[in-house]
Amino acid sequence: MELRKRWQIEKKHHNREARAWFSRVDRSKLIQAKDCRLLFGCPPEIKDMFMAWMGNVYDKRILELGCGRGDLAILLAKKGGNVSAIDISEEYIQIVRRRAVLNGVQTRLSCECMPGERLTYEDEAFDLVYGSWVLHHLDLSLVWLEIYRVLRSGGRGVFVEPFGEDIILEWLKSLLPISRIRMGLDTPTEKSLRYKDIWNAQKIFQRVTVHPFGLLSRLDRLIRSPQFRTVLNVVDVKLLTHCKWLRRYAVAVVILVEK
């Protein structure tokens, strides 16, 4: 798909999401930024891994791709990071700017509306680049190169993304009458990452580490129980650790790239 067409689709979708969220949110919650352990829709151990891979952020130059409402950007700014947050949605950017002021981190958090494939920052501008559920919205042939360009030598990128190596399962999901695209929850431009996308990153970065997660945890939609989900997560860890052939069926991956 032509790049500008992709941007138009993504911008329209996320502007609509931003308006919907802002219309229903309790205004007092604009000040609150969720605890990192509540972010990403991931099991606690994956959130902990994500934050550990990011490392100490104090006085670091940090870029978030696809900041959305800005929860994590605000938290990292509160921890002393110098955060630049971007999003394709100008309405999300307006929300984050307002929240930055309300949280008292406006001097440590700057926001810009721009696509991840065309970053306007100088070379080696950041110590850390991160994003959650964002790379699959972008043209990875371009964004890996941009991430590499803006990272300093020794810098790192940390991402959590949906994984779709099982192409038959992905195809069947797209045929469902209640697919996320038909429900307006996803865009037709987004595409779950596959191993080839990770291999392309390995051609660019010095080191790439991938941790798959989520397998049986898909079943938690059938039984809404924290205890049931905990059991599924424990089983998933054992299966994905000891049965490597099952990793292609993982729901998502955490990715660490190092320059």
Q: Tell me if residue 12 falls in helix, strand or coil.
A: helix
* Dist CA 127 CA 125 (whole Å): 7
Give one word for 56, left, alpha or beta, with left for phi > 0 and alpha for psi -120 to 50. beta
CA distance 106 to 257: 28
Q: What pTM was computed for the model?
A: 0.89
Q: Which amino acid is at 41?
A: G
- Note the pLDDT tens digit of each residue in 80-134: 999 999 999 999 999 999 999 999 999 999 999 999 999 999 999 999 999 999 9
Q: Are 86 and 111 in contact (CB under 8 A)?
A: yes
Structural domains of the chain in order of their starting residue, each with its CATH number: 3-258 (3.40.50.150)
pLDDT means per 10 residues in the chain (259 residues)?
88 93 81 62 81 95 95 94 97 95 95 97 98 94 97 97 75 50 58 91 96 80 74 83 87 94
| Structure tokens given for 9 | 């689709």
Q: Which amino acid type is present at position 105?
A: V
- Length of the chain in residues, anyone? 259
